[in-house]
Amino acid sequence: MSARPLRVVFAGTPEFSVPCLEACRASGAEVVAVYTQPDRPAGRGRKLAPSPVKQAALAAGIAVEQPETLKTAAAHATLAGHAPGLMVVVAYGLILPRKVLAIPRLGCWNVHASLLPRWRGAAPIQRAILAGDTETGVDLMQMEAGLDTGPVLLEKRTAITRDDTGGSLHDRLAVLGAEALAEGLRRVLAGETLAATPQAAEGVTYAHKLDKAESALDFARPAIELERQVRAFDPWPGSDAEIAGERVRVWAATAVAQAHAAAPGTLLAARRDGLDLACTEGVLRVSAVQRAGGRRISAADYLNARPELRGAGP
Dihedral angle sign, alpha carbons of residues 252, 226, 117, 99: negative
Q: Compute CA distances 1 → 4, 5, 7, 187, whole Å.
A: 9, 12, 18, 21
- 101 is annotated as contributing to ligand binding: no
In angstroms, rounded to a whole number, what is the distance separating the alpha carbons of residues 302 and 268? 16
Give buried/exposed letters for 262-277 (b at 16+ CB in 10 A, else e).
Answer: beebbbbbbeeebbbb
- Please give the radius of gyration of the chain, using alpha carbons only, rounded to the nearest integer: 23
- What does DSSP assign to residue 290? E
Q: Based on DSSP, count helices (H) and strands (E) in the chain, helices before strands.
A: 8, 17
* Dist. CA 113–CA 207, nearest whole Å: 11
Cα torsion 10, 14, 17, 21: sign: positive
H-run or E-run covering 23: helix 18-26
| Residue 117 known to bind ligand | yes
Q: Give the closest residue to 253 by CA, choosing from 211, 280, 293, 225.
A: 225
Residue 115 assigned as binding residue: yes
Residues at the annotated binding site?
114-117
Residues at the annotated binding site for (6S)-5,6,7,8-tetrahydrofolate?
114-117
